[in-house]
Structure 1
Amino acid sequence: MADIDDRWHRTGPDGKPERTDRYGIGARWLVRWRDPDGRQRKKSFRRKVDAEQYATTIEHGLLSGTYIAPDAGKIMVEEWATKWLDAQAHVKPTTLNRSAASSEPISCRRGGSFGFQTSRMRLCSRGWAN
């Protein structure tokens, strides 16, 4: 299932722990696991207890069938808004058109992130809108 690696120490040829090149740099503990699709995933932690708790959570999710990939919730707001508008079949067409016009998704380029704004004027004045 999930395993925990110490990125700062490895077992040497004599069986004693030795420092690695990463000693003292970054998070020390690495949790690795394979998701249901077979892809290897990993996440780093500063404390061993946090790594152990996360590994336990991952193993429970994999065994019980409730596993959710850590990046599963990442979706661009523009994509979400488009899906939401498409799913509004129960709304009258005039209402839907008004909603689509007032909350039109605008992709804003600022540090590679995207946002959703209802005020096009505010975005354009700041130079964020495309």
Structure 2
Amino acid sequence: MGTSGTASVYDRWHPSRPSEAFKAAHEPCQHSTKTKPLYPAAIHGTGKQWQVRYRDADGKQRKEHFHKKTDANNRASAIQADLQRGQYIDPQAGKETLASVGQRWLESALHKDSTAESARACIQL
């Protein structure tokens, strides 16, 4: 995986670099091609096969899963473009309620007592 600004697609069902011991213990699966044998991972056939991995603007690793490789590639391209333009928005950020943001603001800001009471009343509406 690269640095901030890159997004990569991985196949969760097949190890990208299986060891020789792994290859000896497993038969290639039906997804193999003529030029590249693919060996099934322990999670083969369960869940979504394709994973997009990237680091957000804060450097935190993120992962998203997809059934189709084309969907994963499209999402990786979109994420990479947003990161490079500085326009990436964390999908989890939209799940925070206004009440929790307001409460956090009340606790962190310095107010006169009367201002704090008014602000608290407004947030509880």
Which TM class, normalised by the smaller chain length?
0.5 to 0.7
Instruction: Report the 3-state secondary structure (helix = DSSP H, G, I; strand = E; otherwise coil) of the residue aligned with 2:95.
Output: coil
Residue 10 of structure 1 deviates from its aligned partner by 1.8
Name which structure has the greater RCO, CA cutoff 8 Å, separation 6+: 2
Which has more helix, going by share of residues?
Answer: 2
Superposition map of 1:99-114 within 5 A: 104-105=124-125
Residue 66 of structure 1 aligns with which residue?
A: 87
Change (3 A) 1:69 1:9: same
Counterpart AA for 2:43: R
Using structure 2 for the length normalisation, give the TM-score: 0.61
Residue 51 of structure 2 aligns with which residue?
A: 30
- Distance in 1, matches of 2:70 and 2:88, equals 21
Residue 96 of structure 2 aligns with which residue?
A: 75
Residue 37 of structure 1 deviates from its aligned partner by 1.2
Contiguous gaps of at least 5 residues in structure 1: 84-96, 106-130
Q: Give the superposed CA RMSD.
A: 3.0
Question: How many equivalent pairs are there?
Answer: 94
Counterpart AA for 1:73: G
- Distance in 2, matches of 1:64 and 1:78, equals 31
- Distance in 2, matches of 1:49 and 1:34, equals 20
Using structure 1 for the length normalisation, give the TM-score: 0.58
Residue 43 of structure 1 aligns with which residue?
A: 64
Residue 73 of structure 1 deviates from its aligned partner by 1.1
Residue 77 of structure 2 aligns with which residue?
A: 56
- Distance in 1, matches of 2:86 and 2:102, equals 29
Task: Report the more deviating stretch, 12-21 or 65-74.
Answer: 12-21
